[in-house]
């Protein structure tokens, strides 16, 4: 039996990267998994992978910022699996660029997905979890929600927003005594397809800035490499399971030491 055996989990943004890794990891640990993503065909591919090793799953095309779609996602989950125990609010985008070059449309689009999408994930998960007698909401933030980063002001704002949103809802649930825990996860430089999509619309037109996560991990993470989606997924499985039953309103940071502080220029080996 897995650590989340029998639980029912919805993973938004589950078609690739961290979301896909979470869906696969939860399924391998015994959860029944609903994979949602704006890219419906890719979400379906992830569900097929889960089905190949015997997992119970289905996928849905979903725009997390569209409230009208949320009631149907929850209804289909309960109709198919009878309950909802875990919500992994993972869907997100990153728009790069100085504040003076970021358009209001980009600002709003990023917040619609990263912030509004998390709000809606939680708003619609809570009643279903209460019907099930409890649950775990895992909100994907970032180390950009813990510290500022030049060129990522909009992204930092959205990820800091969901960080404190998680804490506030955790307190609401604790006060209600509904057995629902809410925690946030803060990845650092993780080798995912997201890096290839980081861009910003400027006065001269849209441009895309490609970041090499391998080089960034080697240069910026004290541990000397980027993280992997599977490493983040392991933390999500932990938060979804009863192993974290005394954790709520907390943060799990996976950043290879980036937020621990700066490395000295010259490393001194212990004698």
Nearest alpha carbon to residue 217 among 263, 256, 260 = 256
Nearest alpha carbon to residue 121 among 195, 26, 19, 46 = 19
Cα dihedral angle (218, 222, 223, 228), rounded to 10 degrees? -60
Residue 89 · residue 140 · CB < 8 Å: yes
- Count of alpha carbons within 13 angstroms of residue 94, beta-carbon side: 25
Q: For 34, phi and psi rounded to 5 degrees?
A: -110, 120
- Any catalytic annotation for residue 155? yes
The C-alpha atoms of residue 24 and residue 26 are separated, in whole angstroms, by 6
- The residue from 81, 124, 155, 254 that is catalytic is 155
Q: Which residues are catalytic?
A: 155
């Amino acid at each position: 039996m897995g650590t989340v055996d029998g639980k029912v989990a919805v993973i938004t943004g589950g078609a690739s990267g961290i979301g896909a890794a979470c869906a696969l990891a939860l399924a391998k640990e015994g959860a029944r998994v609903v994979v949602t993503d704006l890219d419906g065909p890719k979400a379906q591919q992830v569900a097929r992978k889960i089905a190949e090793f015997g997992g119970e799953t289905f996928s849905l095309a979903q725009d997390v910022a569209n409230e009208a779609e949320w009631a149907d996602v929850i209804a289909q989950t309960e109709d198919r699996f009878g309950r909802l125990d875990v919500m992994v609010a993972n869907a997100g985008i990153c728009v790069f660029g100085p504040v003076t070059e970021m358009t209001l449309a980009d600002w709003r689009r990023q917040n619609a997905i990263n912030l509004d999408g998390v709000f809606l994930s939680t708003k619609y998960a809570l009643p279903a979890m209460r019907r099930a007698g409890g649950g775990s909401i895992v909100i994907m933030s970032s180390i950009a929600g813990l510290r500022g980063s030049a060129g990522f002001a909009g992204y930092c704002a959205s990820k800091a927003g969901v960080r404190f949103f998680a804490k506030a809802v955790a307190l609401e649930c604790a006060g209600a005594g509904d057995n629902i825990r809410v925690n946030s996860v803060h990845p650092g430089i993780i080798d995912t397809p997201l890096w290839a999509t980081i861009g910003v619309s400027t006065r001269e037109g849209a441009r895309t800035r490609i970041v090499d996560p391998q080089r960034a991990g080697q240069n910026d993470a004290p541990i000397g490499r980027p993280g992997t989606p599977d490493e983040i997924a392991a933390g999500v499985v932990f938060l979804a399971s009863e192993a974290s039953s005394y954790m709520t309103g907390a943060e799990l940071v996976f950043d290879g030491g980036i937020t621990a502080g700066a490395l000295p220029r010259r490393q001194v080996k212990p004698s």
